[in-house]
Structure 1
């Protein structure tokens, strides 16, 4: 049995390395192009000097500083609101069951099956009626709550031993104190993982911000990158890839810092 498993392990390892190579190849090409002048990058000259000129030119000709600031405010707004709303909803589903709560939770799960693009027109009509077009609130309002976040936190809260909750109540803790002192600390890895997921999604979100923004003052980095590539610089791939690396660098750094918590929390979030 052990002998038979060795070829399987070897094939699995080879397949994993092959898939990893396919995934990382475009990233390596982007690094190569961004850190070389157009001539050296196009010829794949291994002895071509590395340079930061492309990054300096990108920051000089486009307001990427403003784009990053807009995106930071957007993802912070969404993340804070989702943490609060999803935490309270998950806590209610776990600790305060009521008549019809299971049906309501099923409706929350149904939302996971609806693509955001399906609601694009109706969301735009709502945002337009509220008079907040071309604002950070317009980009974030449809995402201030998350069915995925409610599901993930509920599954994690269900794993908290009842004894801890009862002990806290015996010591005189009110429901909010029980939530903050018992449930939230236990779910800390889940909060980190979910934060990475939602920040990554909304940092890279393109279609909805493109629809509701039209000015540099509110434009996020994804829309700014698209405008930079198609309007300002055309097909200068050295500048485009440099701008792309600037856009994704915060996400790559965050994932490298929190990858362990990211994997562990989703392993713990299985249906219980």
Structure 2
């Protein structure tokens, strides 16, 4: 009983802001700032709020920027992290343990610590205020390397030897055999990567100035400051629209997401 109460309390704390956001997106301005809070509005204002969110600010452009940036980062991370994880899990070479120790150190470093050197690097390369500035700092993921390594270590070496006898190269083994077998880990990592960069505000706020390049999280702030002002109904509607793709993707892949994280933590 106590366990269930604790879980319900935690769920309420996590879902409370989400429910409040959706509730405010359905209300007219007069009901938003009432002293008493009601979950459902007395006067439904959903159509007006969501229409303003989609038309007053270039929200579709922000969403497309988020899709471009997140998918590009994810593709680069898979192409880079999977071979590194395979080498750390299955190949014997000098310095392997030291490299893996550096990967673990990378897990402990918050991205904000590296913001200044990354900003200087992007400035030296001349890629500030571009898609490249949003992608380059994240193409290597220590967590991705760690997760894939844990899964690759659990696979049989006989499978790898048989693939070599069939003429597969090491990269062929990674992308044609190992990654398909690691589908739960791949899905779990994809959801975490896309969620992290879709919601990222800190780095885009530093690297991007042009409105046409802004990802969703940064775009909503611009929408509020320049367009909506104190009209929080459209602002909450825009936030709900931005959150919807992540929620749908998680619900669709929930089983593989949980399985992938469990594999990474137990093997």
Match of 1:16 among 7, 15, 18: 7
Q: Does 1:168 align with 2:163?
A: yes
Long gaps (5+) in structure 2 = none
Structure 1 CA distance for aligned equivalents of residues 29 and 44 of structure 2: 11
Q: How does 1:23-42 map to 2 (within 5 A)?
A: 23-42=14-33
Aligned residue-pair number: 263
Considering only aligned residues, what root-mean-square deviation do their CA atoms show, in Å?
Answer: 1.5
Q: Is the 1:74–1:140 Cα contact (8 Å) retained in structure 2?
A: yes
Q: Does 1:268 align with 2:263?
A: yes
TM-superposed CA distance for 1:50, in Å, is: 5.4
Q: Is the 1:32–1:41 Cα contact (8 Å) retained in structure 2?
A: no
Query: 4+ runs of 1 displaced by more than 4 Å?
Result: none
Q: Secondary structure, in 3 states, of the residue corresponding to 1:227?
A: helix
Q: Does 1:79 align with 2:54?
A: no
The equivalent residue for 1:133 is 128
TM-superposed CA distance for 1:36, in Å, is: 2.2
Change (3 A) 1:73 1:46: closer
Long gaps (5+) in structure 1 = 1-9
Q: How does 1:44-123 map to 2 (within 5 A)?
A: 44=38, 47-49=42-44, 51-123=46-118
Q: TM-score scaled to structure 2, two decimals?
A: 0.93
Change (3 A) 1:177 1:46: closer
Greater alpha carbon shift after TM alignment, 235-244 vs 177-186: 177-186
Q: Is the 2:205–2:218 Cα contact (8 Å) retained in structure 1?
A: yes
The equivalent residue for 2:179 is 184
Q: TM-score scaled to structure 1, two decimals?
A: 0.92
TM-superposed CA distance for 1:111, in Å, is: 1.1
